[in-house]
Amino acid sequence: MPSPERDALNALFHARPSLAVDLLNDVFDIELSSDTLVEVTPAGESGPLPLAWGEPEHGVIVELQRTVSEEDRQGWARRSAALWLRLKRPVLVLVLAPDAWICDWAAQPVVTSLPGYVLHPLVVGPEQVAPIADPAQAAECLELTVLSVLAHGSEEGVVETFLAALSKTEESRGTRYYEYAYRLASTGVRRALEEIMSSDAWPVHSPFAREHFSRGRLAGLCEGKARAVLAVLRARGVSVSDDALTTITSCVDQEQLDRWAHRAATALTVDELFA
């Protein structure tokens, strides 16, 4: 099941499907045609993102990687092979790695159990995404600005630039991009977003600021509590069905999540948790 983070990544590339093609061109000097097909979530979880109608000449799979996991790398290879079989066209794997120490590891060739099949991921990290410090520039391409927050949000001025750009953006559009950045950012950067939104330095009188500070904070709190419930259940060996997982992760009632967290310590089944 897609996580809120992967949903945000998917939505970001839906908002500008050519973003992956632009990154490949700017960072790796790889020119792809406008009919490239981009796929963010694993096959079967969400539909692909066609850049144009017709027969695509290439496929691109976009991944976000925060931890060292060889299982994840093998998953890139499997998804790449599956998309190649579907398209019968060359497929590239573009990996976004917000942490510099992940980049070198992620960029290593992925050797698979299929003889002769070695995947060479293309990794974009903090060195490849420039921090954006100009609000006018940030407003022109909010997708790249979100990636700037993802890679450099802890650096001075980056979050402030992002929020300044949103204040110049049509409200409903700004709403979406705040949500994308909040979902994709690290815990520390999320706190920075919340603090600026609630400080005198930000125009909290605006409907946008008030709405998104409260929504973003609530979403983050509920997500954290849902993860805590699931962590306790899994640590105790309690089986969690797909339906139960959806119920827990989609809950926005903090009191209900607190009750589930308390019950998770003793419940023997998910039915007991929900009782």
| pLDDT tens, position by position, 16-42 | 878 999 999 999 999 998 788 888 865
Mean pLDDT within 221-248:
86
| Confidence label for 64 from pLDDT (cuts 50, 70 and 90) | very high
Q: Which residues of 34-63 are buried (b: 16+ CB within 10 A; e: fewer)?
A: eebbbbbbbeeebebbebeeeebebbbbbb
Question: What pLDDT shows up at residue 255?
Answer: 86
| Cα angle: 234, vertex 7, 60; to 5 degrees | 115
Question: What pLDDT shows up at residue 204?
Answer: 40
Place of tokens 């690290």: 186
- Say if strands 91-96 and 122-124 run parallel, antiparallel, or are unpaired: parallel
| pLDDT tens, position by position, 89-98 | 999 999 999 8
Would you say residue 206 has pLDDT above 50? no
| pLDDT tens, position by position, 97-154 | 988 889 999 999 999 999 999 999 999 999 999 999 888 899 999 999 999 999 999 8
Helix (H) and strand (E) counts in the chain = 13, 7
Share of the chain above pLDDT 90, in %: 35
Average pLDDT of the chain? Answer: 83
Would you say residue 226 has pLDDT above 90? no
| pLDDT tens, position by position, 167-184 | 788 877 887 888 888 888
Share of the chain above pLDDT 70, in %: 85
Q: Do the Cβ atoms of 237 and 268 come closer than 8 Å?
A: no
Picking from 2, 1, 13, the residue whose alpha carbon sits closest to that of residue 180 is 13
